[in-house]
Amino acid sequence: MRRSKKLTRSERVLDGEAILPYFRTVIMCYIYDVEFSVKVVKSARKGIESAPERVQESFALLTDDLKASGPVQSAWANYSKLGKDKYHCHLSHKWVACWTWEQGTIIIEVYYAGSRENAPY
């Protein structure tokens, strides 16, 4: 749609006409698609093997989420940060998983998966 009157600069930007010539600074944005590496220690693997099948499936989903989006898993039940670089969440009412992540790396280590009674926190 053409207008008969000449538009001011702000009107052209608001109307979406010829926006690019009015930007003098170009901002570059890089989005990195990082996949984290999840290491499950032997004691955590043994603990989850003794869990019910439903809990084992939840643990598999948790490790997939950790690989895809990193150590902060706020969508999981009772997720919390335990301290510097340590996190945990509940797999069910009686089962938890704990992991650690050193900032600046892509390695997440699951150091405990088992019952809440024996959790190391």
Spatial CA neighbour of 17 closest among 1, 34, 37, 36: 1
Residue boundaries of the structural domains of the chain: 37-118
Report the C-alpha gap between 50 and 47 in whole angstroms.
6
69 touches 61 (CB < 8 A):
no
Q: In the predicted model, what is the mean pLDDT of residues 90-103? A: 94
Q: Which amino acid is at 92?
A: S
Which superfamily is assigned to 37-118 in CATH?
RelE-like (3.30.2310.20)
Indicate whether 77 pLDDT > 90: no
pLDDT for the residue numbered 11: 55
Residue 70: CB atoms within 10 Å = 14
In this structure, what are the phi and psi dihedrals at residue 51, rounded to the nearest 5 degrees?
-80, 160
pLDDT for the residue numbered 118: 86
Spatial CA neighbour of 35 closest among 116, 108, 106: 106
pLDDT for the residue numbered 119: 86
